[in-house]
A and B are shown apart, each in its own frame.
Chain A
Amino acid sequence: MSFYIATVVVIFGIDVLAAWALNLQYGLAGIPNFAFIVFQAAGAYTAAILTLGPMTASSAQTYIGGAHVPFVVGLIASMAGGAALAAVVGAFAMKRMRADYQAAILLILALILNQFVTTDTSLFNGTSGLANITRPLGSLINPNSTGWQWAYAGLVWALCAVVLFVVQRLSRSSWGRALRAQRDHDAAAAALGCNVVALKLQVFVIGGAIAGLSGGLLVFYLQAWNTGTWGYEETLAIFVSILIGGVANNWGVIVGTFLVQIVFVEVPNLLPQFGYIGLVDALEWIVIGLLWMIAIAFRPQGVIPERRVRAARLGAGAPIRAVPGEPPSRAASRPVGSAQQVPLGAAGPVSGSSEQ
């Protein structure tokens, strides 16, 4: 049981990493990256071939390049792989265009790349994919033991902590604010000096790097890289995690990932099979699709919505002009629902009005 729980903890951590990466791109920047899984796969492939060793004539599988690098280098390379592919794709897909076209382009790209990798056996070994990828830290702990499982879970969550720190810093920075601004109105952001294309390309590459890292961690854990694992529908599951958890809220994304990837994807595996073979799997995707629709219809902001950044947190003092009937300290935290009903100009100068 402990072995199984450790497995779930590892997969959960990797899924959270992936969701944070997509949340940067979609939640913060509004980029509908329906090709997300491709960047995770690219990171995983990079990590795999760099640890499988050089391909020889007697190798049972074909892949590009091949080397024996330490685990840590492999992980860094997985980030570079995801980022590099994101830079190439982003150079085209992040140009100024409507979000629906962008979504279509990225989804089609995911389908084409999956088809290409699956069909072309000379480069990527086709549907067989890659196997026999060595688990790291094998010299320290038996890689098939429960202890190794927990050690790897610890490593994954330690990296999660680092990535959370980075994504939170980025999200709260003026750069993150500019990204949210262009998400809401790109023409206005550009007219205020923001280079919208550069902003989107940057967040696309950073998201690609984190996606690559999550792919690297996954491939070292599974010891295999198989095209069947990288279907576009996997991207949809990550999207639903974000929509349910909270768009542009990294804490909400943890909740959403738990609900979708663990409760709705993982737990059904424990249920007894019923109906024809494959029915449970099919139902799983139906439930995910329903969750998406329910989230958009009833709670588009997610379980934990995007956090409101109050002026006081940005270093602003109390408002110069207080709201009638309220002490200045409360004026700053006045609920917005009621603020809407306050007619313009009703807030006449009560105190501290320095100029008109």
Chain B
Amino acid sequence: MIAVQTPQGARPLVEVEDLVVTYGGVRAVDGVTLSVAAGEVLGIVGPNGAGKSTLLAAIGGQMRPERGHVRLDGADITRLPPHRRARRGVVRTFQDTSEFGRLTVFENLLVAGLGEQGASLVAATLGARAQGRRTAVAVARATELISRFELDHLRDAYAMELSGGQRRLVEVMRCLMREPRLLLLDEPTVGVAPHLSEQLRHEYRRIAASGVAVLMIEHVLEVVEAVCDRVIVMENGAVIAEGSFDEVMQSKAVQDAYLG
């Protein structure tokens, strides 16, 4: 089992320590330890059922680990519910797209932009002025993002009316509406048209360059190579290899896992 560390000198923003997640009697994540520095993109690859999405869910708060810790900037967030992690800057996309189907594309972005303040009954009813200011900022940001991703003509479309790739873009744009410190991406380029997939890669690099730690599950090795600073390989819930893309691809453990 490999304990994955950030490159020397880089301050880890996220530290996962000996994480174990069990469900249905299966140890989906089996003692994973890793860390990601601010500004770093860590790729997670591995065969289906390796425990990649479960690991992301335990870091994002969707699943509760049986053992181990998740730390963000030194603070233990292992037991925090997802919405409180989100307030600390943990933002994620899901393996199956998670658009709000009966909200328009624009509204999907506003929900993300306003976040906890938008969901506050008190802020929404009593603090109309402050909420108005926040909304104006979110509206401007959403308008700019929708334009950057060439979805202007769909801004008033219900998200359920979009294609799979477009839904994926909405999900990514929602993440960008927030100011993430840790971005968790579960297969973020699946179904996205090639030229926009290319744009997304630049986007992830840009986000990372602004000091965000990015953890990305990705099956397309070309994307992993282009975007990720480091890569970990998982099999049967455990990390079996870690290093740069080239190092990992040449690892015997990885070749055994993939080719048998």
Contacts and interface: CB of A to CB of B under 8 A. Distances in A.
A336 interface: yes
A328 to B, nearest CB: 9
B147 to A, nearest CB: 4
B119 A174 contact: yes
Contacts of A316: 106, 139, 142-143, 155
A347 B62 contact: no
Interface string A181-221: 10111011111111110110010000000000000000000
A323 interface: yes
Interface string B91-105: 110100011111110
Given A175-B120, A311-B104, A187 B94 contact: yes
B100 A191 contact: no
Interface stretch (A127-135, A255-263, A302-310): A302-310
A310 B107 CA distance: 8
A2 interface: no
Contact of B104 (A176, A191, A310): A310
A309 B109 CA distance: 13
A253 to B, nearest CB: 16
Nearest to B150: A347
Given A311-B104, A333-B156, A193 B119 contact: yes
A354 to B, nearest CB: 7
A340 B163 contact: yes
B247 interface: no
Contact of A339 (B62, B98, B161, B165): B161
Nearest to A343: B193
B158 to A, nearest CB: 7
Contacts of A248: 102
A340 B105 CA distance: 13
Interface in A262-292: none
A322 B150 contact: no
Nearest to B178: A192
A54 interface: no
Pick the most buried of A193, A195, A332, A336: most chain B CB atoms within 10 A of its CB: A193
B83 A336 contact: no
Given A187-B62, A316-B143, A323-B153, A193 B83 contact: yes
Interface in B113-146: 114-121, 123-125, 131, 135-136, 139, 142-144, 146
A317 B98 contact: no
A180 to B, nearest CB: 6
A138 interface: no
Interface string B161-205: 111011001010010001000000000000011011000000000
B98 A187 contact: yes
Given A187-B94, A193-B87, A310-B156, A319 B146 contact: yes
Contacts of A202: 121
Q: Is the interface of A mostly helix, strand, loop or mixed?
A: loop
Interface in B61-106: 61-62, 81-83, 86-87, 90-92, 94, 98-104, 106
Q: Is the interface of B mostly helix, strand, loop or mixed?
A: helix
A230 to B, nearest CB: 29
Nearest to B122: A175
B161 A340 contact: yes
B111 interface: yes
Contact of B156 (A173, A175, A191, A332): A332
B152 A323 contact: yes
A68 interface: no
A56 B117 CA distance: 51
Contacts of B252: none
B37 interface: no
A168 to B, nearest CB: 13
B179 to A, nearest CB: 11
Pick the most buried of B62, B106, B153, B163: most chain A CB atoms within 10 A of its CB: B153
A99 to B, nearest CB: 15
Given A174-B110, A193-B115, A336-B161, A322 B152 contact: yes
Nearest to B192: A344
B152 A344 contact: no
Contacts of B151: 347
Given A188-B98, A314-B139, A319 B153 contact: yes
B74 to A, nearest CB: 21
A336 B154 CA distance: 7
A342 B94 CA distance: 25
Contacts of A187: 62, 82, 94, 98
B41 interface: no
Given A339-B157, A344-B165, A177 B118 contact: yes
B161 A353 contact: no
B148 interface: yes
Given A174-B117, A181-B100, A310-B104, 7 more contacts: A177-B114, A178-B111, A185-B101, A187-B62, A193-B178, A315-B139, A319-B147
Interface of B: 60-62, 81-83, 86-87, 90-92, 94, 98-104, 106-108, 110-112, 114-121, 123-125, 131, 135-136, 139, 142-144, 146-148, 150-159, 161-163, 165-166, 169, 171, 174, 178, 192-193, 195-196
Q: Which 5 A-B pairs have the closest CB atoms?
A: A193-B115, A319-B152, A188-B98, A175-B124, A178-B119
5 contacts: A183-B102, A189-B100, A193-B86, A319-B155, A355-B147
